[in-house]
Amino acid sequence: MLRRFENQVAVVTGGAQGLGLAIARRLAGEGAQLALLDHNGAGLEETAAALAGAGAAQGGSVGEPLTLVADVTDEGAVDAAMARVVERFGRIDVLVTAAGIVGVTDAKAHQVRTPDFDRVLDVNLRGMFFCIRAVLPTMLKANYGRIVNIASISGKDGNEGMMPYTASKAAVIGMTMVIGREYAHTGITCNAIAPALIATAMTLQGLHPEHYKQLTARIPMARTGTPEEVAAVAAFAASRECSFTTGFTFDASGGRAVY
């Protein structure tokens, strides 16, 4: 196994389950000291203990992850959480923003209620912005940082019945472009990943079975992706090796997007 993140501190939002958990596991396996942020306190503690146990079984020296119970839509809570990471470890080398929700599905645009639209944008976009803004000063002082945002292929070509989610992920891609350009000269890179349908609890529980089937049918590989496949892409984007790519969106779409 590669050890690309030894002596590095990685913050993963949405780290209690799904893509966040898979990415956290991959980064820890490559030597990162983790700080996991999620609103699900019980799930977060369980995940942290499991990751620490797995690391000990593999003979790793990295300690148990720092757990940060916070809602990414709470600006003050996010700032306080990131301050705790810096107080504990003195640095933040990597930020992976994996916290997100699907929101309402199977609803055409004229059927979307304003509170439902606002909630998706709040979590998927504003919450991501709060997290990125909170870590940038620390990364700027170090002249180094890797920011990896979880977007979606729907942010590129749209998913019918998921207008709020699609709009939020398109905005994530746009935000990634701007941050990538603004900090390109500083040693900080900011890239995104646009997965197609991935088999996680969020998609399995959030999508109607027929909608899930339709989205799978769009994938030329004729299957959904796995969290581990996305984690492999994220690990590269979060590593020092990803040194000449910024503001870019990596696809993990099984061929759904080839541009």
Which residues are marked as active site?
165
Q: How many angstroms separate the CA atoms of 28 and 58, rounded?
A: 11
Residue given tokens 């912005």 in the structure block: 129
Strands in 9-13's sheet, in edge-to-edge order, are 66-69, 33-38, 9-13, 94-97, 145-150, 188-195, 249-252
Phi, psi values for residue 13, rounded to 5°: -90, 150
Other residues' Cβ atoms within 10 Å of the Cβ of residue 40 = 14
Q: How many angstroms separate the CA atoms of 209 and 252, rounded?
A: 22
